Chain A
Amino acid sequence: MIPTLLYDGLTLVKGKNFESWRTVSALIQQVQIYALRGVDEMILLDISSTNKKTKINFNLIKDITENIFMPFTVGGGIKNIHDIQNLLKSGADKVSINTAAFHDKKFIKEAVKIFGSQCIVISVDYKKINGSELVFTNSGKHNTNKNLYEYLEEINELNVGEVLLTSIDRDGTMLGYNIDVIEKATKILQVPIIASGGAKDYKDMLKLINKTKITAIAAASIYHFKNQTPKLAKSFLKENGIKIRE
């Protein structure tokens, strides 16, 4: 159970289909609330860094990790080994790379060699265009025209630790996970997938887990805008026979 926190450089936001971002709360405050609510890990993505060509605020990462004792993944605008080093030094355990991973496979291979595959997460955003799933970069702003499944095959060769797979169409809609795509992706990818985008409610999470054998699920909107918490989600899943961390 992994909440994704989207940060725009100033506050925590949540969008719909990667647009119309709404401010949801002060970041540090939210992180601490999650830490008490039974989440297993956290992912923080700075959605402004790549497009504004800025760097993530390392001090902010430091402030967060001083107080949460769980795995913490950070992403946004990561372009080189030095960026990763700085994030790990600030207390991140893993880094999530999206745009740079698409353009620079050599960089990812080098990062895996230096930091280990457990440390590198590739984030993939996709959207359905004319019937096929295509990969988007730059926080969903740039259509690469690359077929999602072809890209996932390529990722298999990079030996990264995990893939964060987000549906732009479902993002923020609370319409339910894109189960067909996730199922197909789990069959292609040799690494664990964190499925993200569209979580509707606990039942939707259960459906996803049962149908796809996925082991990690991310959600944001239902925690921000609905009266649902990671803790309640977990007890629901447990009651339905899913093995889950206690």
Chain B
Amino acid sequence: MSKNRNILIVDYQIGNVSSVINAVKKLGYKPILSKDESSFDSSSHIILPGVGSFEAGINNIEKLGLKKLILDQVLNKKKPILGICLGMQLFASEGHENKVVKKGLNLIDGKVELLNSKNEKLPHIGWNSVKFKTDFKLNPNLKNQSDFYFVHSYCFNCKYDTEISGITNYGTDFTSVVQKGNIIGTQFHPEKSLEKGLKFLNSFLNINA
């Protein structure tokens, strides 16, 4: 596959996506911010970005008719998808926020819940290190630990340990990377994590390429 590929950035009108677009462009690919089926079809990889609340996120995805599209692309067409921050959390079966429970995309079993950070302040904002599982292929570093930039208050509690690919500690250990086949999610922001972040993103964009 050539580098001149379309990369779909799902436009579900939540949070700031300009850095994701810029990062994909910087790496030499063609970012397309869209919610149209034709754009999904013409893209090799999908990125689901987002910062904000689970409820607002999943509501927008449903309202815009994106749920069916995403599931079809990911489950039937097996396209690699990267969820970033809220985007990753939306992969979960359900989200628990202020006692409201909402169903997610149900791509990876688990619940999104408030991070039990103990004495640490929430939101968790800043650089923190990610311990990757040794067999995780997108690790941008030779070491099994790298620092990335985080901004969140909730975390993804996976049902199956096999789907956890990275762990970070903030008062408590939480899942910072998930993977289930072609479905990959990061709680951190690769597009805000300097060279290592771009490297991570590039490895994702090179899956199947």
Contacts and interface: CB of A to CB of B under 8 A. Distances in A.
Interface residues of B, number: 25
Given A69-B192, A91-B18, A116 B52 contact: yes
A40 interface: yes
A70 to B, nearest CB: 5
Nearest to B151: A118
A66 interface: yes
B191 A69 contact: yes
Tell me the interface secondary structure of chain A in the complex: loop
A93 to B, nearest CB: 7
Interface in A86-127: 88-91, 93, 116-118
A192 interface: yes
Interface string A206-226: 000000000110000000000
Nearest to B123: A118
Contacts of B16: 88-89, 91, 93
Contact of A69 (B23, B123, B146): B23
A65 B125 contact: no
Contacts, number: 62
A69 B198 contact: yes
B119 to A, nearest CB: 11
A139 to B, nearest CB: 26
Tell which of B51, B127, B149 has the most Cβ of chain A within 10 Å. Answer: B127
A229 interface: no
A69 B51 CA distance: 16
B171 interface: no
B60 to A, nearest CB: 15
Tell me the interface secondary structure of chain B in the complex: mixed
B199 to A, nearest CB: 11
B64 interface: no
A245 interface: yes
A91 B19 CA distance: 6
Given A65-B22, A245-B127, A118 B51 contact: yes
A235 B107 CA distance: 42
B18 A65 contact: yes
Interface in A55-87: 65-67, 69-71
Given A118-B151, A215-B126, A216-B126, A69 B121 contact: no
B116 interface: no
B185 interface: no
Given A190-B121, A192-B121, A245 B147 contact: yes
Contacts of A215: 126
Contact of B18 (A89, A118, A161, A246): A89
Interface in A8-41: 35, 40
B96 to A, nearest CB: 18
Contacts of A161: 123, 125
B127 A40 contact: yes
Contacts of A70: 149, 192-194
Contacts of A69: 19, 22-23, 26, 191-194, 197-198
Interface in A163-203: 190-192
Nearest to B146: A246
Contacts of B52: 116
Interface in B167-209: 191-194, 197-198
A46 interface: no
Interface of B: 16, 18-19, 22-23, 25-26, 51-52, 121, 123, 125-127, 146-147, 149, 151-152, 191-194, 197-198
Given A65-B19, A116-B51, A245-B127, 10 more contacts: A35-B194, A69-B191, A69-B198, A70-B194, A71-B192, A88-B16, A93-B19, A118-B151, A245-B147, A246-B147
9 A-B pairs closest in CB distance: A245-B127, A245-B147, A91-B18, A118-B151, A118-B123, A88-B16, A66-B22, A71-B192, A118-B125
